[in-house]
Amino acid sequence: MNKIILITLFAINGLLGSCQKEKTSQSENYGNGPRTNVSSAMQGNWMYGNFSMTEYWSQNPSEYIGNGFEMAIAFKFYANGNYEQYFTSKTVSAGIVTYHQSLTKGSVEINENAKTIVTHAHSAHYKQTKNGQTMVDRDLSKNEITALTNYTYEAIIEPNGRKSLHIKMQGTSNPYAFFQIF
């Protein structure tokens, strides 16, 4: 009986220890870059998406391959100044369906008076699949990550009452409408 209790205690201790390591490594993924507290109005998930009007079918007309191009970018802003940025795109070309996906984590500075967002990327993960087969699935090295990105934005209430951020990204002339999704 004592052996069972001892084994159970070691197992629980091992689980708690692994949970602690996970928490530590997850918080390290955001880094110690500059950050500001994020107001409740800016916290949460903001997403922009686009797709083409082109649809693809295989030579067998009953097999739908998919939309020609789809893309989504999303930000998640946390109260403590951490952020996550998600990117996904899908293309269909010559019957090959390719997905690109990335997740970047770091710290963010949001200046609501100047209407600026500055992200300080600390870590990023990239995955590419072709026709369901994983081609790449790895963490990016520091020299592959854009460490600092500046955005300007305007907070808007759309005619339907939905909150949006019209974010102008570096190198773009027009802002993209990011909608708060939850």
- How far is 92 from 55, CA to CA, in rounded Å? 9
**In this structure, are 80 and 17 located in the same domain?**
no
- How far is 135 from 122, CA to CA, in rounded Å? 24
**In this structure, are 81 and 41 located in the same domain?**
yes
Number of domain units in the chain? 2
Provide the pLDDT for residue 96.
86
CA 77 to chain centre: 10
**In this structure, are 79 and 165 located in the same domain?**
yes
Provide the pLDDT for residue 53.
64
CA 20 to chain centre: 24
Nearest Cα neighbor of 87 from 107, 70, 71 is: 71
**In this structure, are 24 and 38 located in the same domain?**
no
**In this structure, are 134 and 104 located in the same domain?**
yes
**In this structure, are 18 and 35 located in the same domain?**
no
**In this structure, are 97 and 12 located in the same domain?**
no
**In this structure, are 152 and 163 located in the same domain?**
yes
Provide the pLDDT for residue 27.
55
**In this structure, are 67 and 118 located in the same domain?**
yes
- Asked if 49 and 75 count as a contact pair (C-beta separation under 8 A), the reply is no
**In this structure, are 106 and 116 located in the same domain?**
yes
Where in the sequence is the domain holding 19, given as residue range(s)?
1-29
The H or E element containing residue 2 is helix 2-28
Mean pLDDT, contiguous 10-residue spans, the chain (182 residues): 32 36 53 95 92 65 71 95 95 86 97 96 96 96 94 94 91 90 78
Provide the pLDDT for residue 69.
82
Provide the pLDDT for residue 80.
96
